[in-house]
């Protein structure tokens, strides 16, 4: 019942603005586990031969990390200057810094405790984390070649303001890579808002099936991790939040009542 009320309230921008930051801050403070560095539902390519090779230490995070890998490699990022908006516990920016070698990647998140956690947990010479709001990005005009955004935009008060900020901080010719999910009835207006920002669409794809497959493949590991780390009274909540097989998110992505997508946009 409470979960249903919460979800209904997230339809309102004022509620999204006040609700998400304390939740992600609380999670970072209360559960500062070093091996929990991603908070997305993952991705598995249709052709397993396309899977990236990983160091053994990154293997347990294969599926959430692959969401970053396959989105980030939609454009050339080697030696580029990158910003991640909504970097969470920092695993995605760290993967990009270490494997895909941009000149610099800055992970930015509104939840300051998540930013502190990420800064302590991940180190690479071309990586840093800062606190900041997607609706008022704390960087000057034309500061970045690429902006990436993974499973975060659904939490923003105004995506219109976010897209306008992305356009402002991107250099001409720069790329905006975004992946997230929406109720299909809101997808057309999401795309209209994206195009109204003045960014040009290079490509888009619905990836729900790929995400569902990742949920399926990661299920045993995800459940085992939750049971090992989380006090018994919170296990049910974390299984829902983490999207185990059979959770509402899994059902909605399978039935099509939620659509997972990515867009590659360019500032011309
Ligand atoms: C589902 S998590 C995804 C984190 C990360 N991208 C990943 O895949 O592991 C969503 C993240 O968006 C962040 N977020 C929510 N609202 C934000 C805002 N207005 N500005 C920046 N980050 C925000 C949250 O604090 C949270 O860390």
What are the domain boundaries of the chain? 2-266
Query: For all residues of the chain together, what is the average pLDDT?
Result: 95
Q: Rounded to an integer, what distance in angstroms lies between the CA atom of residue 227 and that of residue 29?
A: 19
- pLDDT at 3 (0 to 100): 63
* Mutation pick for ligand 1 pocket among 16, 67, 155 (CB with most ligand atoms within 8 Å): 155
- pLDDT at 191 (0 to 100): 97
Ligand 1: atom nearest CA of 40 is 8
CA of 141 to the centre of ligand 1 (A): 22
Tens of pLDDT along 221-268?
Answer: 999 999 998 889 989 989 998 999 999 999 999 999 999 999 999 999
- pLDDT at 13 (0 to 100): 83
* Mean pLDDT on 27-37: 90
User: Binning pLDDT at 50, 70 and 90, where does residue 6 land?
Assistant: low
Is the per-residue pLDDT at 115 higher than 60? yes
The protein residue with its alpha carbon nearest to ligand 1, atom 26, reads 88
Is the per-residue pLDDT at 63 higher than 70? yes
**Angstrom distances, CA of residue 192 to CA of 13, 86, 195:** 18, 22, 5
- pLDDT at 221 (0 to 100): 96
The protein residue with its alpha carbon nearest to ligand 1, atom 14, reads 86
The CATH code that applies to domain 2-266 is 3.40.50.150
The protein residue with its alpha carbon nearest to ligand 1, atom 27, reads 88
């Amino acid at each position: 019942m409470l979960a249903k009320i919460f979800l209904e309230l997230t339809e309102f921008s004022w509620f999204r603005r006040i609700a998400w930051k304390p939740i992600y801050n609380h999670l970072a403070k209360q559960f500062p586990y070093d091996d929990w560095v991603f908070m997305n539902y993952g991705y598995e390519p249709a052709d397993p031969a396309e899977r990236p090779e990983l160091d053994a230490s990154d293997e347990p995070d294969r599926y959430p990390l692959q969401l970053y890998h396959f989105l980030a490699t939609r454009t050339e990022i080697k030696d580029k200057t990158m910003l991640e908006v909504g970097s969470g516990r920092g695993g995605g920016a760290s993967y990009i810094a270490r494997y895909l070698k941009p000149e610099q990647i800055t992970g930015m998140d509104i939840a300051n405790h998540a930013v502190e956690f990420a800064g302590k947990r991940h180190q690479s010479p071309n990586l840093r984390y800062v606190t900041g709001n997607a609706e008022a990005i704390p960087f000057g005009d034309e500061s970045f070649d690429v902006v990436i955004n993974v499973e975060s935009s659904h939490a923003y008060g105004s995506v219109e303001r976010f897209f306008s900020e992305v356009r402002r901080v991107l250099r001409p010719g720069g790329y905006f890579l975004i992946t997230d999910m929406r109720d299909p009835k809101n997808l057309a207006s999401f795309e209209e808002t994206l195009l109204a920002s003045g960014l040009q669409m290079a490509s888009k794809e619905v990836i729900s099936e790929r995400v569902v497959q990742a949920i399926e493949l990661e299920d045993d590991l995800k459940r085992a991790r939750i049971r090992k780390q989380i006090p018994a009274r919170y296990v049910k909540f974390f299984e829902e939040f983490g999207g185990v097989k059979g959770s509402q998110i899994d059902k909605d992505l399978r039935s099509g009542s939620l659509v997972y997508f990515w867009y590659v946009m360019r500032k011309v």
